[in-house]
């Protein structure tokens, strides 16, 4: 109702301005033209406001459905009301996981290859250290 009135007033004002501009261009007595255009603008604004009011009320009913089910004490009703939203979220998450799966597998393979290479380098380095002269601490420092 509020949007209907607001848009009707705004549409009427715009219509009156447009009618006045038309009448001043034609330089004739156009008071009837101003009133007609203002009424048309108000009617158009009223229609737009009505549509927006109905859409807002519909959205408000959807938002309240879960809250009213909880307020009525029906947990089962709340679960039923929330089920479509949960199913949708699960579907979106499933699609995202399927889309990310190749990238995750590639990263895991890359990490495995890097770990294998690092292990081989450490083993080669450990084989090349001479521990016969008592330089154990130095060898441990190199490996760390």
Burial 62-78 (b: 16+ CB within 10 A, else e): eeeebeebeeeeeeeeb
Question: Does some domain include residue 142?
Answer: no
- Whether residue 9 is predicted with pLDDT greater than 80 in this model: the reply is no
Sort residue 73 into left (φ over 0), alpha (ψ -120 to 50) or beta: left
- pLDDT at position 129 is 66
- Say which DSSP state 134 is in: S
Mean pLDDT of 97-121: 87
- pLDDT at position 127 is 73
Could you give the CA distance from residue 55 to residue 33 in angstroms, rounded to a whole number?
Answer: 33
Question: Does some domain include residue 22?
Answer: yes
Mean pLDDT of 27-45: 71
Question: Residue 34 is part of which domain span?
Answer: 1-63
Question: Does some domain include residue 111?
Answer: no
Give this prediction's pTM.
Answer: 0.39
Cβ atoms within 10 A of the Cβ of 60, count? 10
Question: Does some domain include residue 75?
Answer: no
Question: Does some domain include residue 36?
Answer: yes
Question: Does some domain include residue 58?
Answer: yes
Domain count, the chain: 1
Question: Does some domain include residue 68?
Answer: no
- pLDDT at position 32 is 66
Question: Does some domain include residue 100?
Answer: no
Model confidence at 139, pLDDT cuts 50, 70, 90, reads low
Percent of the chain with pLDDT over 90: 1
Quick one: how far is CA 50 from the chain centroid? 27
Quick one: how far is CA 45 from the chain centroid? 30
Model confidence at 48, pLDDT cuts 50, 70, 90, reads confident
């Amino acid at each position: 109702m509020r949007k209907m009135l607001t848009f009707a007033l705004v549409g009427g004002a715009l219509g009156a301005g447009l009618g006045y501009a038309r009448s001043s261009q034609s330089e004739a007595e156009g008071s009837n033209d101003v009133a007609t255009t203002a009424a048309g603008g108000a009617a158009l604004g009223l229609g737009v406001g009505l549509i927006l009011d109905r859409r807002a009320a519909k959205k408000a009913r959807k938002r309240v459905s879960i809250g009213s089910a909880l307020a009525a004490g029906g947990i089962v009703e709340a679960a039923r009301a929330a089920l479509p939203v949960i199913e949708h979220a699960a579907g979106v998450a499933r699609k995202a996981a399927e889309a990310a799966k190749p990238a995750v597998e590639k990263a895991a393979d890359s990490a495995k290859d890097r770990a294998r290479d690092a292990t081989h380098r450490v083993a080669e380095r450990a084989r090349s250290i001479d521990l016969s002269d008592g330089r154990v601490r130095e060898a441990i420092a190199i490996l760390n």
